[in-house]
Amino acid sequence: MSAAASSSQGGAEGGTHPPGEEEQGESSAYYECNICLDTAKDPVVSMCGHLFCWPCLHQWLETRPNRQMCPVCKAGIGKDKVVPIYGRGCTKPQDPREKMPPRPHGQRPEPENAGGIFPGFGFGDGGFHMSFGIGAFPFGMFASTFNFNDGRPGPPPPASPQHAEEQFLSKFFIWVAVLFIFWLLIA
Partner 1 sequence: MTSMEKRLQKELQALTKDPPAGVIVNTESVSQNMSEWIVDLYGAPGSLYDGEKFQLSFKFSPRYPFDSPQVMFIGPNIPVHPHVYSNGHICLSILTDDWSPALSVTSVCLSIVSMLSSCQEKKRPPDNAIYVKTCSKNPKKTRWFYHDDTV
Site residues (CB under 8 A) for partner 1? 1-14, 17-18, 21, 34-38, 50, 56, 59-60, 63, 69, 71-72, 74, 105, 107, 112-113, 115-119
Residue 107 touches which of partner 1, Zn ion, none (Cβ within 5-8 Å per kind)? partner 1
CA atoms within 13 A on the CB side of 86: 8
Asked if residue 69 lies in contact with residue 94, where contact means CB atoms within 8 angstroms, the answer is no
CA distances from 170 to 136, 157, 162 (A): 9, 15, 12
Asked if residue 53 lies in contact with residue 42, where contact means CB atoms within 8 angstroms, the answer is yes
Residue number with CB closer to Zn ion (81 or 129): 81
Least gap, CB of 45 to Zn ion (angstroms): 9
Residue number with CB closer to partner 1 (55 or 173): 55
Binding-site ranges for Zn ion (CB under 5 A):
33, 35-36, 48, 50, 53, 56, 70, 72-73, 75
Least gap, CB of 13 to partner 1 (angstroms): 6
Residue number with CB closer to partner 1 (88 or 105): 105
Least gap, CB of 114 to Zn ion (angstroms): 35
Q: What is the rounded distance in angstroms from the CA atom of residue 78 to the CA atom of residue 46?
A: 8
As beta bridge partners, residue 44 has 52, 84
Q: What is the rounded distance in angstroms from the CA atom of residue 86 to the CA atom of residue 29?
A: 18
